[in-house]
Each structure stands twice: as structure tokens, then as C-alpha cells.
A and B are shown apart, each in its own frame.
Chain A
Amino acid sequence: MEDVYMGIDVGSISTKGVILTKDNRIVASAYIWTEGNPIGAVKQLLHLLEEQVSGEEYRIVGTGTTGSARQLVGTVVGATVVKNEITAHAVGTTTFHPDVRTILEIGGQDSKIILVENGVAIDYAMNTLCAAGTGAFLSSQSNRLGIPVEEMGEIALKSSHPTQIAARCTVFAESDLVHKIQVGHTREDIVAGLCQAVVGNYLNNVGKGKKILSPVVFQGGVSKNIGVVKAFERQLGCPVLVDENGHLMGAIGAAILARRSKKRKEFSFDIEDMEFITREINCGGCPNNCEIICVYRDGQMIDSWGNRCQRGDAAAKKAARRFSEEN
């Protein structure tokens, strides 16, 4: 029986999972779309992971979750570590690329830059609450152009004159784009222009004022777009490394964090068959009227969060009683 560690990264667009051994060998991995249903996605993910390790002598002794749904999923799988995605990415990347100085990351709705010195993250920046220039922007524009988002990179490479597209704000970028299509720019040039706009936007907003030193590692879903990678290389003037497991780096980091933490709890794949429900209630205990999320497993409330004070706990308990009476 070998002890292994599982990491799950549930983002807004995709859900990633890995099972990692003590010596950082990936024994199972999966990458699926979240499709607005983090719990369903995690169940499906666990199923895929279970298939890959079935019959082997592995015991999952620690589980880490990260990504924007980390708290919800952490509750569902009974995680030993729940960590934010910046730390998870930094830990994952520095384990596989100890000499990295800059980590660029563009995900579905987040984009971030992490600066590393001697294998330790020393500074970072994240996009402000606006999702301009992230994966969500690229995927909505690919819909408009009728091109699968996976093919955008290859199409962009065919262009020799990328169209100039305003990069400051996606709303302006979109109207600019429509205008450029209508006056007759070719599709290749538009797509290449989009890739450049994403890079320009990233460097202007997230990377503003940061010293970007080589080696540079680029990850997150958008790193699979070769057009964006080339645009980064052109604008930064240095090679940009894309790890083949770059899309899994958050999950890998979560697994490593689970290993580093002293907490141990054996994970069982039984939860695939359990029913998880979330309910939103409004506390009503005071004028703040906090929105509280309650998570139920097979009808039993296992966790709740979102309240600003203790009054919320009472409200959640009351809701749980009502819930069990109804069912």
C-alpha cells in the first residue's frame, strides 16, 4: 500500500484533479469542464481518477482543494487542506521548475502574475474584480467568430498582420472587434489581434509595474493557446515555457500542500454515491441580512458559511431543521 495525495482545483470554467505520490509522480489526472456545477464536476472528476488508480495499491491519505470553489468542494470531499489558488500555483510550479522567476497565469475569470525568488513566491498581482482579458473573454469571442476556442491558437499563427484591437476593456475590445470584422479584416488577423489584445491587457493591468524576469512559465487554460504564447514571447522578448501539465498545476500544488500539512485523513471514493445539495438562505437576524450557504450531505447539514456574525449559525441550524422536516 503506497500513500498518495490528491489535489483538486475547481475553477469557474474547468475542474482539475491529480493524484500524486511522495516523489511527485502523477499516477492519475483528469481535466473536465465545470459547467456551472462544481459538485457534479467533482463527482465526475473523482470517477475518472478512481478508474485510473483502480486495482493499484494506493491509499489517499491527504486531500487538498483550491480554485474559486475550494471551500464548497473542500467540504464535500472532506479535504485536509483548503488553499487559495495563488499559493497552490506557486507551490506546484516551483516544485517542477525550481529556477522559475515569473509565473504568468490566465484562467477562466482570473489572471495573475507571481514573482518568485529562490523558489519562494515574493510578490504577486491579480486582476481586479473585472474579468477583462481572461479565458472567458477569449471563449465568448470565439463563439462570435464561430471558431472552437481550442483552434484559436493555430489560426492566429497563420496571420502575418495581426489586427490592432483595443485592449483596455473587454467591452471596448468587443465593439472594436465587431467594427474590424465589418470593415473586412481577415479572420486570421482578427484572431491574432485578439491574442495580442489579451497579452497587452494582461501586461497593462496585472503585470503593471512588475519586473518580469526569465525563466517565465505560463499556465492556466489560456496557456494552451499557442497564439497567446507567441504574443507573450514577442512582447516580453524572452522564451515563455508552457509545461505539459501547466493546466494541472493548481491541483498539483494542492496535492503537495496536502502532503506538507500534518493533517492525515484517508479518502474514500464513496462520496461519488452521496447526494450533496447547497441551499442559500438569508439570515434575517439583523439589517445586514447575510447570504448564508448551507451544504447538505444526504439531507444532513455538514457546513455553512457566509455569515458575518454568530446569529448566522443559529439561522443556518434553523434552516437545517426545516430542511430535514421537509424531506
Chain B
Amino acid sequence: MNMIKMPGRENTTDEMVVGLPRALLYFRYRVLWETFFRELGVKTTVSPETNLEIMRKGAERSASEMCMAMKIYMGHVDALRGKCTHVLVPRILDFGIRRVMCTNFEALPDLVSNIFRDSSFKVLSYDVDSGKRKDEKRAMIEMATGLGFSGKNSAHAYKVASRAQEEANAAAARRTEALYHKDGLKLILAGHSYVLDDEYIGKPVFQKLEKMGVTVIRADQVDRKQALRESEKASPTLKWELSREIVGSLVMHYPQVDGIILLAVYPCALDSMVNDMLIHKNSITKVPVLQMTLDDQTGSAGLDTRLESFVDILEMRKGE
């Protein structure tokens, strides 16, 4: 965090507004972040839902090799300019052994500070890194005390926030679990929450499938602890936290559904390896698997054909 601290910064929490880009980890930590700042009495603002304008701005601000989710993130940071004094960009490296995040999340604060170095907001960050013995709790409390809040208030805010996030996760997992017991055609949509929750790239896939009368179940909304354990059955060496949750969820649930759609954005290093592994692991592919990669093209014909024909094949199998 030291690197990102701006020199000569005063404690100005009164007019402080923290901007939360509606992309990447926002969908995972929405409740945690919003509750944490509310408990501290700090205002927050969230960027609007992704639209073509944000996509375009993001692509302009990014290097061409960044993945589409990163480009969208930069678009959201851009949309927050002028609306906040700080933008929250955590650096999350890992949660322990074989619980690593994608390196993009490690680079994010530095990237944002550099790309938006001319902008008026400051980059607010916290640093989750097991090598430095910093878990999420310690990192977030440190961030708050760095802003001038007392240790006691900061610890209290974290306690309330993390409990709220855990309850939200458990509720989402319960809701999703119930869907596996529904009748009719069911399929799992497996992808990162920042792909599935995104209004512009992920939501249309949901809408199209639901229009066809399919029950769509998200792989990422799952009992995370159990999923981490179960993922070992598919691969004992898989090390990415987010991938392990999704893979574990697939291992737990594939016998209960008619098909699996692996949804990735281009180019995702994690998914390119993990999805390929899944396709060649026969235990999971006892059910049909459709691998789809989203890119920023506006024509939807290819997407429609693939989804439609996949659902047709599942229906034909089921009708047998």
C-alpha cells in the first residue's frame, strides 16, 4: 500500500467519496466493501452498469493484451472520474498455499494509478498477501487506520462487513442449491462472477437461455469451503482460488444437470488452462459441455447459434 499512498495527503474523510468500479471483484465483495465504508461513515459511489460506452472507453485506456474483464474494469474506473475522491482498487495476491488469485489482481492498483495518473482521484488500496502475513481482515483494518480511523472503529467495521458478506454468500449459495432440484432442463453456467454478473457481456447469455425455458444455474454461487475441497477431485494441483471454486462446484453438481456451459472472456489465462483440463477430464464431461469465449464483437449470431443448438441437443438427449 505504501507505493500507492499519495504524498501530503490529509485525513479528509468528511468530503471523502470512495468510488467502486462495477467490475471484476466488485461482484464478489460488493456487500463487504459497501458495509465497511458505511460503518466507517464514508460515502461510496458505484459506476453504472456496463454499456458499450464503458467497453469502448476501457479498451481505449488499456493495453491490447489485457483480458476483456480488465478492459471493462478500466472503463468503469474511467466512468468514476469526477464523481469521487478515491477509487478502491485492492491488491489481492493470495489467501494461502494453492489459494492464489490471477496476477491481474496483483497488478491492478499499479495499473490503475499509472493509467489514470492525470485524474483527480486517489487510488485507495488494501493488500492481501499471505507472504506478508496479511489476510483480508488485517489488510482492510490497516487501510482504514491509514485513513485516520481508530483501530477499534476499523475492526468493528470489518467485523460487521465481513459477517454481512458471509451471510450474503450463504444466501446466494442456498438459493442456487435449490435450483438443482427443479424439474425440466437444467444447465450450469460456469464462469467468473465478473463475467456472469456483467450487464453487457454475461446477462445476455442468461436472458437467451432463460428465454429458451432452461433453468440456468451459476457455478460460482456455492458453498466456497466445500467447493475448494471438492476441486481436489478434478485436480490436486489447481492453485487459483476462483477457478477452484468453480471447478469444485462442477464436481459437486454435474450429475444433477443436463449440460455445462463454460463461459470465458478472451484472453483469460486461467480459463484457457482450466477449461481445457475440464474438457479432457471425463468424469465431468459425462454431461455435454459447451465451451464459449466472449470477445468484444457486437454481432450475436455466433452466440445465438451455439446456445440454441446446445439446448436443442440437450432436449433431444432428454427426450430419448
Binding site for B on A (CB under 8 A): 68, 83-87, 90, 118, 120-124, 126, 128-129, 209, 286-289, 291, 306, 308
Say yes or no: is B301 at the interface (Cβ < 8 Å to chain A).
yes
Contact, CB under 8 Å: B309 / A84: yes
Complex CA–CA separation, A214 to B51 (angstroms)? 48
Contact of B204 among A83, A128, A308 (CB under 8 A): A308
B187-243 interface (Cβ within 8 A of A): 200, 204
Stretch at the interface among B105-113, B118-126, B137-145, B291-299: B291-299
Say yes or no: is B269 at the interface (Cβ < 8 Å to chain A).
no
Q: Write the chain A residue with the least CB distance to B204.
A: A308
Apart from A85-B305, A87-B313, A288-B52, list 11 A-B contacts with CB within 8 A: A68-B305, A83-B308, A84-B305, A86-B312, A87-B308, A121-B316, A122-B288, A122-B317, A124-B310, A291-B298, A308-B204
Say yes or no: is B306 at the interface (Cβ < 8 Å to chain A).
yes
* Contact A288-B320, Cβ < 8 Å, known A122-B288, A129-B302: no
Complex CA–CA separation, A241 to B304 (angstroms)? 30
Contact, CB under 8 Å: A128 / B293: yes
Contact, CB under 8 Å: A121 / B279: no
Main secondary structure of the interface of A (DSSP, over half): loop
A124: chain B residues at CB < 8 Å are 309-310, 313
Say yes or no: is B100 at the interface (Cβ < 8 Å to chain A).
no
- Please, could you name 27 A-B residue pairs with CB atoms under 8 Å apart, sorted by A? A68-B301, A83-B308, A84-B305, A84-B308, A84-B309, A85-B309, A86-B305, A86-B312, A87-B309, A87-B312, A120-B316, A121-B313, A122-B313, A123-B288, A123-B313, A124-B309, A126-B305, A126-B309, A129-B302, A209-B280, A287-B52, A287-B53, A287-B54, A288-B51, A288-B52, A288-B53, A288-B200
Distance in angstroms from B276 CB to nearest chain A CB is 9
A123: chain B residues at CB < 8 Å are 288, 313
Complex CA–CA separation, A121 to B310 (angstroms)? 10
Complex CA–CA separation, A289 to B55 (angstroms)? 12
Contact of A129 among B53, B200, B297, B310 (CB under 8 A): B297
Q: Write the chain B residue with the least CB distance to A114.
A: B313
B200: chain A residues at CB < 8 Å are 288
Complex CA–CA separation, A121 to B319 (angstroms)? 11
Complex CA–CA separation, A257 to B17 (angstroms)? 59
Q: Write the chain A residue with the least CB distance to B295.
A: A129
B288: chain A residues at CB < 8 Å are 122-123
A289: chain B residues at CB < 8 Å are 52
Complex CA–CA separation, A123 to B259 (angstroms)? 10
Contact, CB under 8 Å: A120 / B317: yes
Contact, CB under 8 Å: B320 / A120: yes
B279: chain A residues at CB < 8 Å are 209
Contact, CB under 8 Å: A286 / B309: no
Interface centre among B304, B312, B320 (most CB of A within 10 A): B312
Contact, CB under 8 Å: B51 / A286: yes
B204: chain A residues at CB < 8 Å are 308
Contact, CB under 8 Å: B308 / A287: no
B317: chain A residues at CB < 8 Å are 120, 122
Interface centre among B300, B313, B320 (most CB of A within 10 A): B313
Q: Write the chain A residue with the least CB distance to B280.
A: A209
A209: chain B residues at CB < 8 Å are 279-280
Complex CA–CA separation, A209 to B53 (angstroms)? 39
Complex CA–CA separation, A124 to B307 (angstroms)? 12
Distance in angstroms from B34 CB to nearest chain A CB is 24
Distance in angstroms from A325 CB to nearest chain B CB is 29
Complex CA–CA separation, A84 to B51 (angstroms)? 28
Distance in angstroms from A165 CB to nearest chain B CB is 26
Question: 6 smallest A-B Cβ distances: which pairs?
Answer: A287-B53, A86-B309, A287-B51, A87-B312, A288-B52, A84-B308
Contact, CB under 8 Å: B313 / A84: no
A68: chain B residues at CB < 8 Å are 301, 305
Complex CA–CA separation, A175 to B302 (angstroms)? 28
B308: chain A residues at CB < 8 Å are 83-84, 87
Complex CA–CA separation, A90 to B288 (angstroms)? 16
A287: chain B residues at CB < 8 Å are 51-54
Q: Write the chain B residue with the least CB distance to A121.
A: B313
Complex CA–CA separation, A68 to B303 (angstroms)? 12
B70-121 interface (Cβ within 8 A of A): none
Contact, CB under 8 Å: B312 / A84: yes
Distance in angstroms from B320 CB to nearest chain A CB is 5
Complex CA–CA separation, A121 to B298 (angstroms)? 30
A120: chain B residues at CB < 8 Å are 316-317, 320
A286: chain B residues at CB < 8 Å are 51
A85: chain B residues at CB < 8 Å are 305, 309
B297: chain A residues at CB < 8 Å are 129
